[in-house]
Chains A and B, each alone.
Chain A
Amino acid sequence: MKPAPLTYTRASSLDHAVAILASAPADARVIAGGQSLGPLLNLRLASPTQLIDISHIEELRRSSVEGLELTLGPCVTHAQIEDGEVPDVTRGLMRHVAHGIAYRAVRNRGTIGGSLAHADPAADWVATLWTLGASLKLRGRGGERTLKVDDFVKGPLSTGIEPGEIVSSIRVPRLSPAARWGHAKFARKPGDFAESMAIVVIDRDRQFCKAILARRADPPILLRQTVKGLATRTSDGAMTEAIDTDLDALKISPEDVGLHRAIIRRALRGATQ
């Protein structure tokens, strides 16, 4: 299939992109790596009348560490993170996750900001950045505002981006030297979207502890009972009960419960052993 007719505009700076977006039709879409939006355009599942390409904006590809925070430009690619071209404040978690995203060809073009803005439920960055307690900045005509990633993702392919806004940066807090993380992912085949992915971060020095489960069709969920169990350093048996309580709430088939339970336990093992 070919995309429906559209106007293509290449933005030269963030201000330029925001200005174009402000005067663009309501259905205009911002495109960066195009790894998700490209197929949607070709399948005509998305038919914007205008595309604003931000992938050539130098300032959106930069990354820096200031104090206890890493700031990532939204056009930083998965490959740049995988290759260690951006500073690591997550004790290797982001590099590990980046390496497992789809295939290298996708990682070469796909961007972290694009992945967040597209908000596929099974996308690696949505769950990872949520677990890390990351936030992002949205720039619009009226200025800039900050949102936590957990408040940003509203549902499958649905986010808190308001008309006229562009993801302008992503802020990832630095993990303490003693922080631990665990990550487990199960896909139908190598390179596929996760059927189940669990990420656990335990940073006791910052009194931070989070566990997230991501699936194929529904947005990631916070595993509240599991986190409570982690915080109180509960026993193995009680931990399994906590996981099952979290999973019970999902109302899913026994086959799926078994899979998610195993993946959560593996992520927990990674973070605690």
Chain B
Amino acid sequence: MSGLGIGASLPRLEDDRFLTGCAQYCADIFLPGMLHAAFVRSPHAHARILRVTKPASFEPCVFCAPDLQGVGRIRSTATLPGFKPSDWPVLAGQKVRHVGEPIAMALGSCAAEAEDIAGQVEVEFEELRPVVSMWDALAGGAPLVHDDWGDNVLVELKLEGGDLAAAKAAAAHVVERSFRMNRQHPLTLEGRACVANFDGRLDELVVYVSHQLPVPVQIGLAQVLGISQRRLRVVAPDVGASFGLKSYVESETVCVAWAAAHLRKPVRWIQDRYESLVCDANCRDYHCKVTAYADADGRVLGMECDVIVDSGAYSPWPWPAGIEGGLAIGNMQGCYDIRAFRGRAVNVVSNKPAGQPFRGVARPLSCCGHEVLMDAVADAVGIDPLEVRLRNLVKPAQMPYASITKKMLDSGDYPAALRRAAALVDLPAIRNRQRQVEPDGRLIGLGFACFYEQTAYGTGPFGYSAWGIELVPGMEPAVARLTGDGELILEVGSHSHGQGHETVFAQVAHEILGIDPHKVSVRFGDTSSSPAGTGTYTSRSMVTTGGAVAEACRALKAPIAKIGAHLLQCKDTEVQVREGRVVGPRGTIELSAIGRAWYHHPEELPDGMDPTGLTATAGHKAHDPGVFSYSAHAAVVAVDPETGGVDILDYAIVADCGKRVNPLLVEGQIVGGFSNGLGNALYEESTYDSLGQPTATTLADYAAPTAPAMPDLKLEFIETPSPFAIFGIKGIGENGAIGPPAAIANAVNDALRPLRAAIFETPITARRVRAAILAARSGPRS
């Protein structure tokens, strides 16, 4: 390690532009003559549209469903048996299926004027009974969200393995828990946004969009717009976070792109916070019932679970809503050695915005399922929650461990991570403190969460092709190009929207070529120049794109060495490319001289030089079941039994993401993920009334954690390189978001134990805690 390559805590190279206001987001793009879009949106959760009347004085500025000639519907499919694809209209023409669904687009010379015009569009509705909750969706005689479906079930999935009947027969303890994780918003700092312009010279529609998947969205947009992909260029400029939100084909973007092509004028739409909270795809909204069959020592012999996912009105493209239920049951076993399993997941539709994968994707629920269950087993057997986990965790000697639910835990020491997390919060001291009475009357609780994170999974049957979805990830490419002055440009297909790719990929290049990371530009996010990677999701970029960058840099070594050896007058085999130069037996030569030879003086090049020159393209194919990072979280909370307030007193995370390319950025990923997890656990909830009206429509109502709510985390790492990834890297992007709901829920319930109260629902608001305490007082829990 040279202090700049793999393993170096290099401060982020991209931060200058973000910290000095020089970043370029969609809202920073101004094109001459640009029009601004505003949308007329449904005020009802479920209604038939009887008539749309455009304001007479602004008729040419307003566009409704019939105006969008040639535009198709957004249809996200999957080959899962019984899967029902939804026809998502870009503008609703016949029926609206959630509050905020767009019905018409108004264009004005500024955003305010567009809003004024939109406000004058009149829409007549026939209101229909809405399907508000997952229970409404499944009730007999429920209204139908999609009239031709026959019911409100999007897909039902099953997963089984091992001999559950034998496990049941052998069980000394049977414990069951139900857990509800309420609906949330992904809440990015920058909302959704797009700017579209038709480039007459290239006969090309250019769409700037705040998005994490520029290449897939190019494919999806072209499909819906009915144009060739070569005539559509998608640019994702700087993006102020995404977390999964900006990973689908959005109706607003389709409308804006269509208008720019149709009118031959630039059009832009910059979403505001109200629109974001009301209309964006939402996330979470799960219920699960879990049962463990354990022997007398607390070894779990078998597990059963039933999951319901409320997927909202539509399936986003390319990630259809059924994925959530599949992932929830697929990961419910967690990192425990359980040899019999039965899981069932029902995905239902409702009159709320579409459900969309969000950092952690269903796994925060799975984690709550297996971790709440572990505490229940500990309770039944009469042992500490730490002990029950140590008895059930997969052991290092079992690695790589093939689970009954088709996961391949690749490496590491899960019990060691848990023991260390318990030590970091000083488990014995906490247990001792719990025996005393706190001077302020608060109750102390400790909770654990152990889990793996399946990252960077690939194409095959253990990865994405099992779903049969619209877009299955395959190879991830990268291009490395040495410039005439001996510096490096890396072109990659995965977008960075906070991850720090511009730093870590430069560190990979440094590791291979020895080039100074400050002399490396990392380019991405423009389909006209980026190689066709599928993007950033499932904590995959460091493994897949990082792997591709390593391969491309390795490939670039050959021509560099050949030219260097020729200029140093020695054999190819006698030189090494390192420290950013070519080193031979009798001298060295700088990369700038190599670049100069290729670009300026080809007459100086050796004979037989590959004319491709100083550009190398390479790719990386992900290991099919992915690589598995893991961690143990330990939370210590104080619960105020009078107010119901929960304070985090201490929080430790011990994680293993294999080789850490940049420990500083790994820490950032975990701390940032934790803030998502903390919101999930204690604060964030998208609430709806009985008519399906959203009731958390501004940040005054929607409670998201801010800096003062964040505890100082105790973070430690175990580095077990993955046998299945270049440099032994395992993804880590979602880890911080997965554990907190489970660890904090267990801690709160541990604190409430003396009151015989418990709460199995997130967010664990103060009001819910007070209600749980009152319920326990009015009658003993069964």
Contact = CB atoms under 8 A, between A and B. Distances in A.
B112 A189 contact: no
Interface stretch (B87-95, B705-713, B730-738): B705-713
Interface stretch (B199-207, B323-331, B638-646, B720-728): B638-646
A4 interface: yes
A1 B771 contact: no
A2 B112 contact: yes
A259 B703 contact: no
A258 B769 CA distance: 12
B700 interface: yes
A255 B700 contact: no
Contact of B706 (A42, A189, A193, A255): A189
Contact of A259 (B111, B274, B642): B642
B766 to A, nearest CB: 7
B264 interface: no
A8 interface: no
A104 B115 CA distance: 32
A188 interface: yes
Contacts of A263: 643
Contacts of A189: 682-683, 703, 705-706, 708-709
Contacts of B272: 1, 42
A255 B111 contact: no
B698 interface: yes
A213 B384 CA distance: 43
Interface string A95-134: 0000000010000000000000000000000000000000
Nearest to A196: B643
Interface string B617-658: 000000000000000000000001011110000000000000
Nearest to B708: A190
Interface string B639-679: 01011110000000000000000000000000000000000
Interface string A37-67: 0010011100000000000000000000000
Contacts of B230: none
B116 interface: yes
B51 interface: no
A262 B770 CA distance: 12
B767 interface: yes
B115 A2 contact: yes
Given A43-B698, A195-B766, A258-B774, A190 B112 contact: no
A192 B708 CA distance: 11
Residue of A1, A43, A193 with most partner-chain B CB within 10 A: A1
Contacts of A195: 766
Nearest to A190: B708
B112 A3 contact: yes
A171 B272 CA distance: 40
B708 A259 contact: no
A259 B766 contact: yes
Contacts of B115: 1-2, 44
Contacts of A188: 683, 703, 765-766
Contact of A191 (B706, B765, B767): B706
Contacts of A1: 115, 272, 274-275
A43 to B, nearest CB: 6
A5 interface: yes
Nearest to A36: B700
A255 B765 CA distance: 12
Contacts of B698: 39, 43
A190 B706 contact: yes
A143 interface: no
Interface string A149-163: 000000000000000
Interface in B93-142: 110-112, 115-116
Contacts of A2: 110-112, 115
B774 A254 contact: yes
Contacts of A5: 112, 116
Contact of A255 (B112, B116, B703, B774): B774
B209 to A, nearest CB: 21
A2 B110 CA distance: 10
Contacts of B274: 1, 43
A259 B643 contact: yes
A103 B643 CA distance: 22
A259 B770 contact: yes
A258 B112 contact: no
Contacts of A190: 706, 708-709
Interface string A179-221: 0000000101111110110000000000000000000000000
Contacts of B640: 262
A270 B337 CA distance: 54
Nearest to A39: B698
A191 B708 contact: yes
B774 A262 contact: no
A258 B766 contact: no
Interface string B139-173: 00000000000000000000000000000000000
Contacts of B700: 39, 193
A262 B112 contact: no
Contacts of A261: 642
Residue of B642, B643, B705 with most partner-chain A CB within 10 A: B643
Given A39-B698, A259-B770, A186 B116 contact: no
A4 B767 contact: no
Interface string A216-256: 00000000000000000000000000000000000000110
A42 B697 CA distance: 13
Given A2-B112, A103-B706, A188-B766, A259 B644 contact: yes
A39 B705 CA distance: 20
Nearest to B114: A2
Contacts of B275: 1
A138 B366 CA distance: 59
Nearest to B110: A2
A5 B645 CA distance: 43
A156 to B, nearest CB: 14
B754 to A, nearest CB: 17
Interface in A1-19: 1-5
Interface string B284-299: 0000000000000000
B709 A186 contact: no
B683 A262 contact: no
Given A43-B274, A186-B643, A188-B765, A258 B770 contact: yes
Nearest to B441: A262
Given A39-B698, A42-B272, A262 B706 contact: no
A258 B708 CA distance: 26
A255 B770 contact: yes
Contacts of B642: 258-259, 261-262
Given A43-B274, A192-B703, A255-B771, A186 B766 contact: yes
A2 B36 CA distance: 12
Contacts of B682: 189
A254 B642 CA distance: 12
Contacts of A186: 643, 645, 766
Contacts of A191: 706, 708
Nearest to A265: B642
A39 B774 CA distance: 37
A115 to B, nearest CB: 15
A215 to B, nearest CB: 13
Contact of B643 (A4, A42, A44, A262): A262
20 contacts: A1-B115, A1-B274, A2-B111, A3-B112, A5-B112, A42-B272, A188-B765, A189-B683, A189-B705, A189-B706, A189-B709, A191-B708, A196-B643, A254-B774, A255-B767, A259-B642, A259-B766, A261-B642, A262-B640, A262-B643
8 closest residue pairs by CB, A with B: A262-B642, A190-B708, A2-B112, A255-B770, A186-B643, A188-B703, A1-B272, A255-B771
Given A1-B275, A188-B765, A262-B640, 19 more contacts: A1-B272, A1-B274, A3-B112, A5-B112, A42-B272, A43-B274, A43-B698, A44-B115, A186-B766, A188-B703, A189-B682, A189-B703, A189-B709, A255-B771, A258-B642, A258-B770, A259-B642, A259-B643, A259-B766
